[in-house]
Amino acid sequence: MQKRKLGNQGLEVSAIGLGCMGMTFSYVPFPKKEDMIVMMEKAVEQGVTFFDTAEVYGPYNNEELVGEALKPFRDKVVIATKFGFDIQDGKMVGVNSKPEHIKQAVEGSLKRLGTDVIDLYYQHRVDPNVPIEDVAGVIKDLIAEGKVKYFGLSEAGAQTIRKAHAVQPVSALQSEYSLWTRQHEREIIPTIEELGIGLVAFSPLGKGFLAGKIDESTKFGEGDIRNILPRYTEEAREANKALLDLINQFAEKKNATPAQIALAWVLAQKPWIVPIPGTTKLHRLTENNGAASIELTKEELQEIEDASAQIEITGTRYTEAMEKSTGL
């Protein structure tokens, strides 16, 4: 698989990464641990070098799983994890990026991942009570100490990114980006392009919808995050089929799957965007990685642009309370 550079500090990863959250968090029922270890081994075999986790996924057990699975390949892979939440009794109870909390969090993540350095360390969500300059300063110290290699932000606004970057260069911004989540094109993407920061696109398949396997009759399991998101109500799924129809047209034309077209579109936007689709199924892993070899021409991209501009997406990506926590 081709490689892509994130930021100007030397971070290079596979063009498509693997989001590991769903292996232990958000999407029930969870698969067997042994199967997920095999999944990550297969991902490495297929050229994936970029794996995404966080301390709150689980919480904690996702980092343990990723650390165990990737231990044999540690020198060949880039592991990204995140800090920035308070966790009490196994639950997130709000954001916390106080310097002393970050210093505790990094030690916990290093231990669970079974590594002596975190390749890419993101602030998971902006903490309105802690100046971002202070957060960046702590990461700068951790980089100097050799505990972290590269600094990342997640779902941060343009001004926050600028302030952080002035203290410690940011290599990557992780934010949701896909054919139906494009609000970052207005201000965020121009800002990170100007500053030389890469974009790591989470939910590039719209939490499964853009892969074409979810329709209005799909039932999500108890505890599945999609049960509470406005974009995944029955009515919204019915209304949003228009976008799926468009993706299907191009899938047929390119002899590809809808998921591959959705990922190829993300890859085609900028050479410094890296999608991290998550999956717990081996055949989906192979399908997703196949998107790296699909090239959409300028004409095809324009066609998608023109057609998708006529489609109004029904339902917001998050609940109002969740959206407030993003820092955008």
The string of pLDDT tens digits covering residues 264-282 is 999 999 999 999 999 999 9
Rounded to whole angstroms, the Cα distance separating 317 from 176 reads 9
pLDDT at 224 over 90: no
Q: How confident is the model at residue 221 (pLDDT cuts 50, 70, 90)?
A: confident
Among the listed residues 27, 57, 121, 232, the single catalytic one is 57
Poorest-pLDDT segment among 167-181, 263-277, 314-328: 314-328
pLDDT number for residue 322: 82
Closest to 36 (Cα-Cα) out of 257, 275, 227, 284: 284
Residue 318 appears among annotated catalytic residues: no
Closest to 170 (Cα-Cα) out of 211, 213, 200, 209: 200
Average pLDDT in the 97-111 region? 98
pLDDT at 328 over 70: no
pLDDT number for residue 28: 79
Q: What is the pLDDT of residues 15-42, one digit of tens each?
A: 999 999 999 998 878 999 999 999 999 9
pLDDT at 51 over 70: yes
Rounded to whole angstroms, the Cα distance separating 320 from 328 reads 12
Report the percent of the chain where pLDDT is more than 70: 99
* Locus of tokens 């959705």: 262
Q: 3-class SS at 270?
A: coil
| DSSP label of 128 | T
| DSSP label of 101 | H
Q: 3-class SS at 325?
A: coil
User: Would you say 161 and 225 are in contact if contact means Cβ atoms under 8 Å apart?
Assistant: no
pLDDT at 327 over 80: no
Q: What is the pLDDT of residues 201-217, one digit of tens each?
A: 999 999 999 999 888 88
Domains annotated for the chain, with CATH where assigned, are: 3-208+258-295 (3.20.20.100)
